[in-house]
Amino acid sequence: MAVEQWRPTPQELRLLPRFCQDRFRYGSSLQHPVIARWYRVFGKDFVHIHHYCAGLNFMNRADRAALRRKDRGFQLQRAFNNFTYIVEKVSPAFPLLPGAYYHRGRALERMGRTAEAVRDYAEAIRRKPRYAPPYVALARIHSRAGRRDEAERVLREGLAANPDSKLLRRALARLGRTRGRGAGG
């Protein structure tokens, strides 16, 4: 029963990236051509990908508005555990490692562990400077704490690394609009 609760439902599966859908549908055997292709894309660490995918699914479950606080916390802890597994088990070259740090940071932030989330966002940025989401998350933390200058600095640093990022440009524009409303807005 616990394994079935761990596996995504068909509806949940549709919300996950294609490599996750394929991994949950076809298993991990290199004999399957779809899985063999994913091994070529991600390398030997693809064997661990189900933990990354489970972490994403638990984050999606935590986002459900109908969940009670206790249930949301349970799903966030499960996401954190799976992303921690990835961070600890995969090689430094694993392409999704920055994403694992970012998503683990999201779980930590939602659990109220902001200082740890900041460290994970910073690590995601260090590992992949062009990856926009951790800059936005880090800027959001600074902005909520009233450190708007620091939030702007982080977003500009992100734009310096990834000048074409629409996500970073939108975040910087939003920050400018909130700055214009003053401390109370």
Average model confidence (pLDDT) across the chain: 92
Locate all alpha helices (DSSP H) within the chain, ordered by sequence.
Answer: 2-6, 10-13, 18-26, 33-42, 49-62, 69-89, 97-110, 114-127, 132-144, 148-161, 166-180
The reported pLDDT for the residue numbered 54 is: 97
pLDDT band at 181 (very low <50, low <70, confident <90, very high): low
Determine the angle formed by the axes of helices 148-161 and 166-180, rounding to 10 degrees: 160
Confidence (pTM) = 0.91
Note the pLDDT tens digit of each residue in 93-122: 999 999 999 999 999 999 999 999 999 999
Alpha-carbon span 51 to 54, nearest angstrom? 5
With 70 as the cut, is the pLDDT of residue 2 above it?
A: no
